[in-house]
């Protein structure tokens, strides 16, 4: 009986503390047409304290969506255009000698913000990429001999342009694994594009968004998300999905054995749990269902599975492999 009461109390708590999600959608819809999938995943990254890698052709409102989200949650936003001549100091900051004072002073870089849009991350050399990834992982930056903590919430949204690959530095697989989610942003539907044209085909037509919450609310929501209930059977489902990427033959997926070089890392297991809880929170629920996991599984797993040359020769993508696993593993 007390368990039921606990779940009821938790349900009411989640219901109350997740109300701001609807307010965020309402405000963003004033500027963004469609792209619900992208907004959902950005919010999941924000709530589950994980970074997001976005892939999509130019002009799909990636920058507009991210900057609008920063406005709505009242956080600082920085867009960094990654280029081949970018240096780590351009990102994290550097020491500048002050001749008058006769000492070095710190000039902090754009990384000292809450939401960072790293545009075309694959355009910059490995040194810059690793400086960004270190900041993402450690949540701190070292300039000279001093280490500075980054402000919370801290979210990196990195974009990759799949069109031009000339003169780019693809992110190594081990580094891609540090992104909680990888999302593929697609073209809008005909109906959405018509609405975009009607809204945007006017000069000087800029809608002013207003903040609906503050960063503190996000940090409080993260604590509440930790309380969301996840059943043992649902936990086992996460384990089965991840292990099926490593040992497919043990799960009746022998045909995938020759298609996967490396399966998903333990980060995938952790992130499936975290993102499923965040998804349940956004649905105003106090417990995780297998459907929460199925909704988010593709975005957590697609960049963590490395296909073999054989798979590439047959044009089999990591998405095809994940889809196969999702349709085969029994749902609890």
> Is the predicted pLDDT of residue 233 greater than 90, yes or no?
yes
pLDDT in tens, 14-62: 888 888 888 888 888 888 877 788 889 999 999 998 999 988 777 777 7
- The mean pLDDT value for 3-19 works out to 79
Q: Report how far residue 125's alpha carbon sits from residue 117's, in angstroms, rounded to the nearest whole number.
A: 17
Confidence of residue 98 (pLDDT cuts 50, 70, 90): confident
Q: Which pLDDT band holds residue 1 (cuts at 50, 70, 90)?
A: very low
pLDDT tens sequence across 273-293: 999 999 999 998 889 999 999
Phi, psi values for residue 170, rounded to 5°? -55, 140
Q: At what angle do helices 290-301 and 266-282 cross, to 10 degrees?
A: 130
Residue that has been written with the tokens 């409102």 in this structure:
61
Closest to 230 (Cα-Cα) out of 177, 279, 268: 279
Q: Which helix (H) or strand (E) holds 158?
A: strand 155-160
**Contact call for residues 96 and 105 (beta carbons, < 8 A):** yes
Helices (H) and strands (E) in the chain, counts: 14, 11
Q: Which of 269, 264, 247, 265 is nearest to 256 (CA)?
A: 247
58-86 per-position pLDDT tens digit = 777 777 888 888 888 888 888 888 888 88
With a pLDDT cut of 90, the percent of the chain lying above it is 18
Q: Would strands 260-262 and 181-184 be described as parallel, antiparallel, or unpaired?
A: unpaired
pTM of this prediction exceeds 0.75: yes
CA distance 108 to 102: 19
Q: How confident is the model at residue 254 (pLDDT cuts 50, 70, 90)?
A: confident
Q: Which CATH superfamily is domain 227-328 in?
A: Magnesium chelatase subunit I, C-Terminal domain (1.10.8.80)
Provide the residue ranges of all domains of the chain, joining segments of one domain with +.
Answer: 33-198, 227-328
Distance between CA atoms of residues 292 and 276, nearest Å:
5
Least confident range from 197-201, 276-280, 301-305, 322-326: namely: 197-201
Considering the domain 33-198, what is its CATH architecture? 3-Layer(aba) Sandwich (3.40)
Task: Give the neighbor-by-neighbor strand order of the sheet with 52-55.
Answer: 77-81, 115-119, 155-160, 52-55, 181-184
Q: How many CA atoms lie within 13 A of 208 on its CB side?
A: 1
């Amino acid at each position: 009986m007390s368990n039921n009461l606990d779940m009821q109390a938790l349900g009411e708590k989640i219901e109350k503390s997740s109300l701001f999600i609807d307010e965020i959608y309402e405000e963003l819809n004033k500027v963004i047409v469609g792209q619900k999938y992208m907004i959902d995943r950005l919010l999941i990254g924000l709530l589950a304290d994980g970074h997001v890698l976005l892939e999509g052709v130019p002009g799909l409102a990636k920058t507009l969506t991210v900057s609008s989200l920063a406005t709505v949650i009242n956080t600082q936003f920085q867009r960094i255009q990654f280029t081949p001549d970018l240096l780590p100091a351009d990102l994290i900051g550097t020491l500048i000698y002050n001749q008058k004072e006769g000492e070095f002073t710190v000039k902090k870089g754009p990384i000292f913000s809450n939401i960072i849009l790293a545009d075309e991350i694959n355009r910059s050399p490995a040194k810059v990429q690793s400086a960004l990834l270190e900041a993402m992982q450690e949540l701190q930056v070292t300039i000279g001999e001093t280490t500075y903590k980054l402000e919370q919430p801290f979210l990196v949204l990195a974009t990759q342009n799949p069109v031009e690959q000339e003169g780019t530095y693809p992110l190594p697989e081990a580094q891609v694994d540090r992104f909680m989610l990888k999302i593929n942003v697609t073209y809008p539907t005909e109906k959405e594009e018509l609405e975009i044209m009607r809204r945007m085909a006017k000069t000087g037509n800029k809608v002013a968004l207003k903040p609906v919450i503050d960063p503190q609310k996000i940090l409080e929501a993260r604590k509440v998300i930790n309380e969301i209930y996840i059943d043992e059977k649902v936990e086992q489902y996460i384990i089965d999905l991840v292990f099926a990427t490593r040992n497919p033959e043990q799960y009746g997926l022998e045909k995938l054995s020759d298609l996967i070089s490396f399966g998903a890392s333990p980060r995938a297991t952790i992130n499936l749990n975290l993102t499923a809880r965040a998804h349940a929170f956004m649905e105003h629920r106090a417990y995780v269902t297998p459907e929460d996991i199925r909704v988010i599984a593709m975005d957590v797993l697609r960049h963590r599975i490395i296909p073999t040359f054989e798979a590439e020769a047959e044009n089999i993508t990591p998405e095809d492999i994940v889809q196969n696993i999702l349709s085969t593993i029994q749902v609890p």
